[in-house]
Amino acid sequence: MRHALLAVPVAVAFAGVCVACSSAPDEVVGGEPLPVISNMLECSQTGPACSTWTYLYDCYFGPLGLANCSAQSQCHASIDGLGAQLGYGFVCGPTSDTCWKGMTLTSAPALVPKVVPDPTKTFLYTALHKTTGTPATLANNMPLESPGNPTIPAYTFTPAELACIVDWMKAGAKED
């Protein structure tokens, strides 16, 4: 008898769920919208397509970039970060605009000066970790895995990526 009484509410609940499911809309709604994956930036471009600040920030220097300048609070997120204190006062900050200004205007000396006769001699270029050249030292080590150990870079720039950065500087290091 007890099982029979329990079966009635379970059957009613099941029927209610079935009716609710059959009248559900075709699209899921509610909560925050999910990012559209197809609109995400492709970070394997070359030539003029990769030589803009927007591309470089989104792919490398910004918060979702491969070589994020401010990923760790001790890096270049604020002037209090160890990376900012040891890295010529460079602060990337929380936005594309603050990062660009930090690289080109406010660090002393500027990581990317207004006039760039040879981009490979800039502070930015020499700091980036490359597969060629000297081993990881105070130059050729950015970004670091840990600011406490300047010999372990977290990301290594490829020759194609470095070419994008050089081309951006040759074009005037604009905030484009």
What are the sequence ranges of the domains in the chain?
Answer: 45-170
Give residue 81's pLDDT.
80
Give residue 18's pLDDT.
44
Identify the DSSP state of 159: H
Closest CA to 69 of 46, 103, 40, 104: 103
Give residue 25's pLDDT.
53
Token digits of residue 37: 């994956």
Break the chain down into helix, strand, coil percent, rounded to 5: 40, 5, 55
- 128 pairs with which residues across the strands? 142
d(CA 72, CA 146): 9
**Tens-binned pLDDT, residue by residue, of the chain (176 aa):** 445 444 444 444 444 444 444 454 566 555 655 444 444 568 888 888 899 999 999 999 998 899 998 776 678 888 888 777 877 788 888 899 999 999 998 887 889 998 888 999 998 998 898 876 555 555 777 887 776 676 778 888 999 999 999 999 999 999 99
Token digits of residue 81: 């970060």
Closest CA to 169 of 109, 107, 113, 99: 113
CA dihedral 132, 136, 137, 141 (to 10 degrees): 90
Amino acid at 162: L
Q: Are 117 and 103 in contact (CB under 8 A)?
A: no
E strand or H helix that includes residue 26 = none
- Report pTM: 0.72
